[in-house]
Amino acid sequence: MKTFRCKLCKLKCNDKIDSHIIPRYIYKWVKDTAISPYLREAVNPNVRKQDGETKNQFLCRSCEKIFNDYETKFANKIFYPYVSSNNVDYEYEEWLLKFAVSQSWRMLALEIDTVNDQLAAKLNKILDIWSDYILEKRENSGLHSHHLLFFKRTPDLPTNKEDYFCERAIDGSIGNRKSKIWIYSKLAPVAVVSHVKPLKFNGWRNSLIHKKGRLQGFQLVTDNVFNEFFIDRINFYINSHKKITEKQNKKISQAF
């Protein structure tokens, strides 16, 4: 078997496997709770995808397991409780920070080739710092701050596209605007955002993930640069959704 160098542990390995950029259970939740199983949702407007789920092969089996362990903790302790109860009050330990860093690591590793070489070189250094933290070679994830956002959920399925995007879209990218840089991963009704430059943005309240702590209530983001970016993501989603719906309508009308 051909060997490759794992992007996390940097060792030469021969057990390259498919890894998801966004945890698989998020896709499953979106599909299982869709209005109609026959309509595909535009869950993934930007992240490059394969079979509807974005995957990449840059990890060895043992590194993938490290990521999976944190994803499972997040699923059981926050994601599923939130979608079933709308509770936004959770005590957490360091696993949450590790999960957030590993989520941003995956997104950054996937998207790094979309930025120019100079920025990629800087971001690669951050990837190395985050790798060391995930592999427990260092005690902290550097000076960058990592944030968790809950999107408010409507009692039934949302009827307008903006709410639909907030609750159900899976999305992610490197944000790079007005000299600010961040890594954004949207896991349907929650998002992980890592601030890269500056290390912590102004106007983010109640979102910072510590090594240990308690999430209490919803977050408030009054950061115009991020908010404009987020509105653009919604519009991008609405436009790509429109295209998909047009295609589907055509197919449906051809079926009769």
Which residues form the interface with Zn ion (CB under 5 A)?
Answer: 6, 8-9, 60, 63
Nearest to 102, CA basis, from 34, 160, 185, 45: 185
Q: How far is CA 75 from CA 42, 84, 191, in A?
A: 22, 12, 13
**Shortest Å distance, C-beta 156 to Zn ion:** 43
The least distance separating Zn ion from the CB of residue 107, rounded to whole angstroms, comes to: 18
CB of 109: closest distance to Zn ion in angstroms? 12
The CB-of-71 to Zn ion minimum distance in angstroms stands at: 16
Contact predicate 103/192, CB 8 Å: yes
**Which positions ≥6 away from 249 have C-beta within 8 Å?**
none
What is the token pair recorded at 181? 């840089």
Secondary structure, 3-state, 199-217? CCCCCEECCECCCCEEEEC
Nearer to Zn ion by Cβ, of 10 and 242: the residue is 10
- Nearest approach, Cβ of 133 to Zn ion (angstroms)? 15
Minimum distance, C-beta of residue 129 to Zn ion, in the bound complex (Å): 16
Residues 6 or more apart whose CB falls under 8 angstroms from that of 213 comprise 91, 92
Token pair 């966004």 in the structure block, residue: 22
Q: What H or E segment, with its residue span, contains residue 108?
A: helix 94-111
Q: Which is nearer to Zn ion, 19 or 145 (CB)?
A: 19
On whether the CB atoms of residues 190 and 148 are closer than 8 A, the answer is yes
